Amino acid sequence: MSFTYNRTVRFQDTDAAGVVYFANVLAMCHEAYEDSLAKVGINLKTFFSHAAVAVPIIHSRVDFFQPMFCGDKLLIDGIPQRLSDSKFEIKYQVIDADSPQRHLADALTRHVCIDTNTRTKIILPDGMIDWLYSTTRYGKDIS
């Protein structure tokens, strides 16, 4: 199971050549992640601002297969997977919404849960476990 986010490429997402700038693909994927959190009831304002717990990205990657242009309609599918008590990753597929056979890009973000005061790893909070469980087949199973 996964989550899906619809996104239209905006002019601001593109570079001087008129194609989506590489870093903006990760920003779009992060929008998809935020949307999926909100859909399971996680309050984004408190989740991302000055909480005792943070879930920063510790690794990311993007692979491009076809260019994306201003006005393109995208489907961003995210598949989260729990890696340990404190880590998870999300694999993304970016697809052309008008031609779903056009696979445009793949991305990955890996996250770790930390205590914001000590900057040490901690167990994912229940809200994140619930989110993982709601978006994956195996939820609480650690792979």
Please, what sign has the CA dihedral across residues 61, 67, 68, 72?
A: negative
pTM higher than the cut 0.85: yes
- Pair type for strands 73-82 and 3-8: antiparallel
Burial classification of residue 27, based on how many CB atoms lie within 10 Å of its CB (0-12 exposed, 13-18 middle, 19 or more buried): exposed
DSSP string computed for 30-70: HHHHHHHHHHTT--HHHHSSS-SEE--EEEEEEEESS--BT
pLDDT (tens digit per residue) in 76-116: 999 999 999 999 999 999 999 999 999 999 999 999 999 99
Of the chain, the percentage scoring pLDDT greater than 90 comes to 80
pLDDT above 90: residue 16:
yes
Q: Any idea which residues carry the catalytic annotation?
A: 15
Tell me how far CA of residue 139 lies from CA of 6, 12, 105, 132, 133, in angstroms.
24, 36, 25, 5, 4
pLDDT (tens digit per residue) in 112-143: 999 999 999 999 998 899 899 886 544 333 33
Q: In the Cβ-directed half-sphere of 43, how many Cα atoms lie within 13 Å?
A: 5
Q: In the Cβ-directed half-sphere of 98, how many Cα atoms lie within 13 Å?
A: 6
pLDDT of residue 3: 94
pLDDT above 90: residue 50:
no
Give the pLDDT mean for 2-26. Answer: 97
